Chains A and B, each alone.
Chain A
Amino acid sequence: MPLSYAELELFYEGLVARAQGRGIACAITSGMACVAYGVAQATQDCDLLCTPAAAGEFLDLLGEESLHGQLPSYRGHLTPPLDARWMRGGWTSHFVWKAAGAEAYLDIFGVAPRGSSPWEAELQGFYAGPHTVAEMKRTNRGKDWPFVTALGVKLLEAGDPRGWLHLFSYEVLVQTAAKLACPADMVALRPVLGLLASGDERLEVALKGEMEFWNQLDRLRIRVHEHAVRPYMLAVKRDRCSGDPALHTQHLVRVEHAERLLPVNPLRQHGLERLIGEARAQAARFVAPGALEWLPDVRGCFIGLSE
């Protein structure tokens, strides 16, 4: 009998409740959080933020969490160990429960990609706050962008002016501005909003430039990690113990290989300024000249990434 969505949702919420009960800061984000915030997304896997300092405790908890009698395993050879060092470097650890008839997937982040404020400070029950979820949705996948705007409107409705930072639909921006003035501190964080205030017709082009820039920044971020993971992946793949039934053994094998072969923080190694510059150059290939003139300063969007 396959696992139903309701069953999975209860399972993940139970996992978070037990972790939070042990004092571990963690929260469900991404698609399942979107459903909770009123922007339904069909999803089955669970993306979870977990504070890196509690990685060991969370791993212990996972080792006790059975689903239909099955305990979880690390998923595949590419997944880094659930260890504070790599979590702080922006890596994601992947787990799977191979329950009878269905599988449950869990991806664990320590750092919220593109996060500009500590996600731990804004939890809403089982879920990461909508501001964090919206920042994480600025991905290289076109399908995610309507969710960002929808969450932005939700934030404004809840009285949070940071909603302005997430409106990427030209129509929504113009319609919102018809009744609501955008505060100066939001314009300072997101210069494109200045075009809205002045009724500048270049707004639509500038929005396209912004989205293309985020798209390229995410593509490059992923590419840097994918390049960095190769030697580690090959070593884990060759190691017979990496598929040991015991999660603890799988973990130790991964830590051993990671300590030798997996850079803790490939983005810092690559250079954040360099990454941002490359994203800008790539984006320039796809948008109208001048469209990137109003990009935000994204150097603050790597909160939590270790030095």
Chain B
Amino acid sequence: MKAAKARPAWLTPEVLRHLKRVEYDFHVRAFGEEMARVNFLPLAERRRYVGDMVDHAVRKGVKFDKPALGVTP
């Protein structure tokens, strides 16, 4: 994600470190340890992991499509 053009004064290195800790703990609670690890991988590796996961699920018959209702959540 692009950072804001000029870093605001409130975003000190200490605050950023704190946010990173809060973020990681939340990802572990919300998505589990494995997905938290994946979410903190570099983009290319994260995409590869998601790709492998989706491809495996599709081979096992999982359907990802949503119904076409003319309106989407």
Contact = CB atoms under 8 A, between A and B. Distances in A.
B33 interface: no
B25 to A, nearest CB: 8
Nearest to A141: B73
Given A38-B46, A149-B26, A180-B10, A92 B71 contact: yes
Interface in A1-40: 2, 4-6, 9, 35-40
B68 A40 contact: no
Interface stretch (A170-178, A199-207, A243-251, A279-287): A170-178
Contacts of A157: 1, 11, 16, 19-20, 23
A107 B66 contact: yes
Contact of B22 (A35, A141, A175): A175
Contact of A176 (B14, B22, B53): B22
Contacts of B2: 124, 158
A226 B69 contact: yes
Contact of B50 (A42, A45, A171): A42
Interface string B9-34: 01100111011101101110111000
Contacts of A139: 73
B64 to A, nearest CB: 4
A35 B71 contact: no
Interface string A257-273: 00000000000000000
**Size bracket, chain B contacts:** 35 or more
A91 B70 contact: yes
Contact of B18 (A79, A161, A179): A179
Interface of A: 2, 4-6, 9, 35-45, 47, 75-76, 78-80, 90-92, 94, 102-103, 105, 107, 109, 113, 124, 130, 139-141, 144, 146, 149-150, 153-161, 169, 171-172, 175-176, 178-181, 218, 221-222, 225-226, 229, 233
24 contacts: A5-B52, A6-B51, A9-B47, A36-B43, A40-B49, A40-B50, A44-B54, A45-B64, A79-B70, A92-B69, A92-B70, A102-B58, A124-B2, A146-B26, A150-B39, A157-B20, A159-B7, A160-B4, A161-B10, A171-B29, A180-B10, A180-B15, A181-B10, A233-B70
